Amino acid sequence: MMSLEDQLNALSYEIRGAAMDVYNHFGPGLLESIYEKAMIKELQLRDIKVESQVPVKVTYKGFTISDDYRLDLLIEDIMILELKSVAELLPLHYKQSRSYLRLLNKPMGWLINFNEDDFAHGMVKVTNRYYRPD
């Protein structure tokens, strides 16, 4: 059985490859929803379990106080993907990704901006320093 680190590395490799395929097909400039649908299809073609628009519960002292947030993609129940199509990634985007990791207790994810001219700069790994294995 693969260690969590090995699983995350293998998934990261596949996710980056899938994102590159989607980017190479469409290029920059489309709506985020198009990239999301294409990523779902590409990951499915690679036999990777993907869930989209996953509700993120916010709890306070054991009480759910909100379920208004939606995570773009949850991969194999251990990694998140936040997809963007913006002029540039802002600190807010990183904070949002880190918050989702913390709220869902997932070890890592990727923040991907499809609106980059140099796509290598559009993929950023995000880690959860508060991750607690169940």
Length, in residues, of the chain:
134
Domain total for the chain? 1
Q: What pLDDT is stored for residue 1 in this prediction?
A: 84
Pull the structure tokens for residue 7. 């699983």
User: Phi/psi at 65 (nearest 5 deg)?
Assistant: -110, -10
Q: What is the pLDDT of residues 4-22, one digit of tens each?
A: 999 999 999 999 999 999 9
Q: Are 39 and 51 in contact (CB under 8 A)?
A: no
Considering the domain boundaries, does residue 103 fall inside one?
yes
User: Phi/psi at 43 (nearest 5 deg)?
Assistant: -65, -40
pTM over 0.85: yes
Q: What pLDDT is stored for residue 122 in this prediction?
A: 93
Considering the domain boundaries, does residue 79 fall inside one?
yes
Considering the domain boundaries, does residue 93 fall inside one?
yes
Instruction: Inform me whether the pLDDT recorded for 134 exceeds 80.
Output: no
Q: Percent of the chain having pLDDT more than 70? A: 100
Average pLDDT estimate for 98-114? 97
The CATH number linked to 123 is 3.90.320.10
Considering the domain boundaries, does residue 132 fall inside one?
no
Q: Percent of the chain having pLDDT more than 90? A: 91
Average pLDDT estimate for 76-98? 96
Considering the domain boundaries, does residue 24 fall inside one?
yes
Q: Mean pLDDT in the chain? A: 95
| Structural domain harbouring 104 | 4-127
Helices (H), strands (E): how many in the chain? 3, 5
Considering the domain boundaries, does residue 56 fall inside one?
yes
